[in-house]
Amino acid sequence: MTYLHDPTLVVYGQVLLALVFSVAGAQKLRQREEFVGIVRNFRILPPRVAEPAARLLPFAELALAAALLVPTLLQVTGGVAFLLLAIFSLAVAVNLVRGRQNIDCGCFRTGAGQHLSWWMVARNLGLMGLALLLATKPATAAAPGLLDLITASLAAAVTALLYVAATQIRVAASLIPAAAHAHAHHHEVKSS
C-alpha cells in the first residue's frame, strides 16, 4: 500500500488541492456579497447561519490552501480538505435530487455561473481521493526529492489548467442554446 504514498503523487495532491482551495477562496472573496446569496440559495443552512458561513468559507479555504503545502500537517489538512469536499458534494447532490440544477454552484467565481451537475460531485470525489491520500500518508513515507517536487507541481498545474479550460467550454456550451433562442426570438420580432 506504500506505493499509494509515492512522493510524487503526494506532492501532486498537495499542490492540486492547494491550487483548488486558493483559487476558490480568492474568487469568493472578490465577490463576497454574491457568494452570500449563493450559499443562501442552496437552502441547506438555516438563514441565520448561511451568511456567517459564506463570509468565513473563503478565509478557511485560503488558510487550508497554505496549510496543505506544509508536509508535517498533511494528515490534518488532508482530513479537513476531505471533509470540506464531502460537505460541498453533499450540498450539490441534495439540490440535484431536489431538482434544483439551475442554481449557481459558487465553486469558482468566473463571472458566468456554473449550474449544478453530477459532474461536480464526481470531480469532488476525485479530489476527495487525493485528500484521503494525504490524510493517510504515514509519517515514515519517503520524502520527495527535487525531481518529485518539479514533476508533481507541473502535473498539478497542467491538471488545473485543463480543468479551467473544460469548465469554460462547459459554461460556453450552456450559453449557446440561450443565445440561439434569443437570436431566433429577435428574428421573429423583426419579421412581425
- For 68, phi then psi, to 5°, come to -60, -20
pLDDT at 175: 66
The model's confidence at residue 184, banded by pLDDT at 50, 70 and 90, is low
Q: Residue for cell digits 483559487? A: 23
pTM of the predicted model, to two decimals? 0.80
Selected residue with higher pLDDT from 9 and 171? 9
In angstroms, rounded to a whole number, what is the distance separating the alpha carbons of residues 13 and 8?
Answer: 9
In angstroms, rounded to a whole number, what is the distance separating the alpha carbons of residues 116 and 91?
Answer: 10
Would you say the C-alpha torsion 168, 169, 175, 180 has a positive or negative sign?
positive
The model's confidence at residue 174, banded by pLDDT at 50, 70 and 90, is low
In angstroms, rounded to a whole number, what is the distance separating the alpha carbons of residues 192 and 175?
Answer: 26
Report H helices in the chain: 7-30, 32-42, 47-67, 74-97, 118-135, 146-191
